[in-house]
Chains A and B, each alone.
Chain A
Amino acid sequence: MKLTAKILIVVTVCTAFYAPTTNPQVEPSREYVYKAGFLCKFLLFTRWPEDVFADSNTEITIGVLGKNPFGDAFEPVIGEEFNGRPLFVKFFGQDTPAETLRECHLLFIVPTQDRTDMRRTLTSLEGSHVLTVSDSEDFVEDGGMIGFVQTRDRIGFEIHKSAASKAGVNFSSKLLRVATRVVEADDD
């Protein structure tokens, strides 16, 4: 089965049952499976510096920092190729050192009660090439690169283009086009 077909099945099933809500805790599994599909899709529209990958066979890694909200949503796509590289997913505890997190290409940061934790994590990743994603409120304002937001009838995402550029992470214009909001500079 094609990779995009698998993603589509995941997303279709989730969109069929997922009722948008302002409280992600009401239907967390469906919402996060939907978001897992988004994370995989982000990989298709993102370019990292070549030196991030040791060689052409190096896998592309999605990391999840915090309590895993995705369940086994990534199972159908683990090992599948994204931009010519097999996908690997790692889950990290909240106390994982930054050096370990820097090994990921995309890091989803699970929101915590304390917003300073989020800021501390983002600060610790400065200078790395990790694409940071979260559904934490004001994630983009805190310096994150892609933040999930709830729009009227669907889940959207905001992009902090400048933060990504600083990390050497470049987004395709196709991704920027469909973003709910694109932040160009730090003071935006």
Chain B
Amino acid sequence: MINRADGKRENVQHTNGDSGNVGLWTRLPLRLKLVFGMVTVSSTAIVAFGLAVIVYNSMTFKQQMVENLAVQTQMLADNCTGALVFDIGEDAEEVLKSLRSNQEISFACIFGEDDTLFATYRRDDAVTSPWPLALEDEGHRFESERLIMFRPIMLAGREIGMIGIQSELDDLSASLRKSVWSMLSVLAMLLLFTYGLAVALQRVITSPIHQLAETAKSISERHDY
């Protein structure tokens, strides 16, 4: 059975004997095939673009997080030098308490030159992570739900300690969710628009074919050449 341009069906013997998916596809009216094809191509492109945007946003956001946390860590490290040099742990903890204004940061630690724990900060509701942070080399790393950064505390060109900060990735998750929902919304709107456009365009293509089929039918039935 094949589709005619006017959407009517016609029985035809398949020569290749494949009557599965190809048969289902062949049974569809041409106008639906055209619409389906255009919508599929468009939506694939839109989804691919959307995924690329999400991945790019995620990478950019992570980079920004690292840069922002690095600035904050450096400021804290600078402010802690006096406390570290003069061995005043309470003052270092006071410095770390300034992190309360940043809800993303759950833990922070300062280590002395001999690698001993010197001062700590823990957000009141932060209880899920290992505590305190173990001393690491300078750098940063992402875990599933957190970003951990370590930076040296320098004074007059000398390393006098190390500061470690752990930031939760709630903002990143929220940003990703927002991106996904935005993309889905745009995708839905674009699909509707694409569908409308495809319906209009398929008429341009199928009308001449339909007229041709009508003419052929007329010739065939009435022998009106």
Contacts and interface: CB of A to CB of B under 8 A. Distances in A.
Interface of A: 2-5, 8, 11-12, 15, 38, 41, 44-45, 82-84, 154, 172, 174-175, 177-178
A86 to B, nearest CB: 13
Contacts of A11: 87
B152 to A, nearest CB: 12
A9 to B, nearest CB: 9
A45 B81 CA distance: 10
Interface in B70-86: 78-79, 81-83, 85-86
A47 to B, nearest CB: 12
A45 B84 CA distance: 13
A82 B83 CA distance: 18
A41 B85 contact: yes
Given A2-B158, A3-B158, A82-B156, A178 B113 contact: no
B79 A83 contact: no
Contact of A44 (B85, B112, B114): B85
Interface of B: 78-79, 81-83, 85-88, 91, 112-114, 155-156, 158, 160
A124 to B, nearest CB: 30
A172 B82 contact: yes
A11 B84 CA distance: 12
A82 B157 CA distance: 10
Contacts of B82: 45, 172, 174-175, 177-178
A6 to B, nearest CB: 11
A154 B86 CA distance: 10
Contacts of B160: 4
A82 B156 CA distance: 8
Given A174-B79, A174-B81, A4 B86 contact: no
7 contacts: A3-B158, A8-B113, A11-B87, A15-B87, A44-B156, A177-B91, A178-B86
Contacts of A83: 156
A16 to B, nearest CB: 12
A8 B161 CA distance: 12
Contacts of A175: 82
A123 B160 CA distance: 37
A45 B160 CA distance: 14
A174 B158 contact: no
Contact of A177 (B83, B87, B156): B83
Of all A-B residue pairs in the complex, the 8 with the closest CB atoms, nearest first, are A174-B82, A178-B82, A178-B86, A41-B85, A174-B81, A178-B88, A177-B82, A178-B91
A12 B85 CA distance: 11
A105 to B, nearest CB: 15
- Central interface residue in A4, A12, A38, by most chain B CB within 10 Å: A4
In this complex, which of A15, A45, A83, A84 has the most chain B Cβ atoms within 10 angstroms of its Cβ?
A: A45
A53 B175 CA distance: 55
B86 A41 contact: yes
Contacts of B156: 44, 82-84
B83 A178 contact: yes
A175 B88 CA distance: 11
A84 B158 CA distance: 11
A15 B88 CA distance: 12
A174 B84 CA distance: 10
A174 B118 CA distance: 17
A177 B82 CA distance: 7
A83 B155 CA distance: 9
Contacts of A44: 85, 155-156
A12 B112 CA distance: 12
B158 A4 contact: yes
